[in-house]
Amino acid sequence: MSDCIFCKIVNKEIPAEIVYEDDQVMAFKDINPVTPVHILLIPKKHISDLTAITEEDKELIGQIHIAAVKVAEKMGVAEDGFRLVNNCKEHGGQVVFHLHFHLLGGKHLGTKPPA
Ligand code: 5GP
Ligand code: ZN
């Protein structure tokens, strides 16, 4: 997707603080962090949102979660824990329409999911 900001980050057309990369997944620091650790994990291929995944993406979705744990370890939040969040479409608060998961940590986030 030529006009997608996260595809541009994947293609290194715009800069990002990349903290993890493999064949299918990239992770980089959120430009506007809301927690001490705030990383975005994305598939390298363009998928607009979570409802657009197909059976073919099973392995990819698993790989994103495996990558999230690696990133959490690298960022020093695996031991205390963290939150992994997907905002899906308008009511979910999605702003960037390239599937991404927020890895949030570095402080206690409470026991309720944010609403
Ligand atoms: P959403 O609400 O779509 O789940 O969240 C999109 C996230 O992407 C926001 O937290 C926002 O700060 C982040 N973001 C938007 N544009 C950029 C960018 O160009 N670079 C980086 N690193 N993060 C971005
Ligand atoms: Zn994209």
| Domain 5-105 class in CATH | alpha beta
CA of 81 from ligand 2 middle (Å) equals 28
Q: What is the distance, to the nearest Å, from the Cα of residue 3 to the centroid of all Cα atoms in its chain?
A: 19
Work out which ligand 1 atom sits closest to the CA atom of 14: 19
49-104 confidence digits (pLDDT tens): 999 999 999 999 999 999 999 999 999 999 999 999 999 999 999 999 999 999 99
pTM here is 0.97
Confidence of residue 112 (pLDDT cuts 50, 70, 90): confident
Q: Is 98 one of the annotated active-site residues of the chain?
A: no
DSSP string of 58-69?
HHHHHHHHHHHH
Which residues have C-beta atoms less than 6 Å from ligand 1? 5, 16, 28-32, 40, 87, 93-96
Residue 30, pLDDT above cutoff 90: yes
